[in-house]
């Protein structure tokens, strides 16, 4: 599939874009290059290949290199809030900015 300059101009008009002739020619070349790539991808035989919901699905047998989600430091809220001018119920109190 390839687009003609008239089709590019029509698409630009529908998108309410004003393209110069050079921009229209550039858009035509870029879009036609994209369509060429899509045609090449569609030509690949994918029979027997299951679609993936997520790339990590391929890694079922390989352990992901993620650290376990475990709290590694103690709660130090009170120590951190000692220097605050005003704290109430574990929250920092700040002056009202917006009325």
Q: Which residues pair with 87 in a beta bridge?
A: 92
pLDDT over 90 at 68, yes or no = no
> At the topology level of CATH, where does 5-42 sit?
Histone, subunit A (1.10.20)
Helices (H), the chain: 5-14, 21-42, 77-81
Confidence at residue 61, expressed as pLDDT on a 0 to 100 scale: 54
| 97 neighbors 91 (Cβ within 8 angstroms) | no
Separation of alpha carbons 51 and 53, rounded Å: 7
Q: Is the pLDDT of residue 13 over 90?
A: yes
Tell me the Cα Rg of the chain: 29
Which pTM does this prediction carry?
0.49
Give the CA count within 13 Å in the CB-facing half-sphere of 42.
7
Percent of the chain with pLDDT over 90: 63
Confidence of residue 58 (pLDDT cuts 50, 70, 90): low
Residue 45 has pLDDT above 90, yes or no: yes
- Predicted confidence (pLDDT) at residue 64 exceeds the cutoff of 70: no
Q: Please give the distance of CA 53 from its chain centroid, rounded to a whole number.
A: 16
């Amino acid at each position: 599939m390839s687009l003609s300059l008239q089709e590019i101009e029509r698409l630009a008009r529908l998108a309410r874009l004003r393209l110069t002739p050079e921009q229209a020619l550039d858009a035509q070349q870029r879009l036609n290059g994209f369509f060429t790539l899509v045609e090449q991808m569609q030509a690949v035989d994918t029979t027997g290949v299951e679609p993936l919901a997520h790339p990590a699905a391929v890694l079922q047998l390989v352990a992901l290199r993620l650290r376990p989600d475990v709290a590694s430091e103690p709660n130090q809220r009170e120590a951190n809030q000692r220097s605050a001018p005003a704290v109430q119920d574990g929250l920092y109190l700040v002056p009202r900015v917006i009325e």
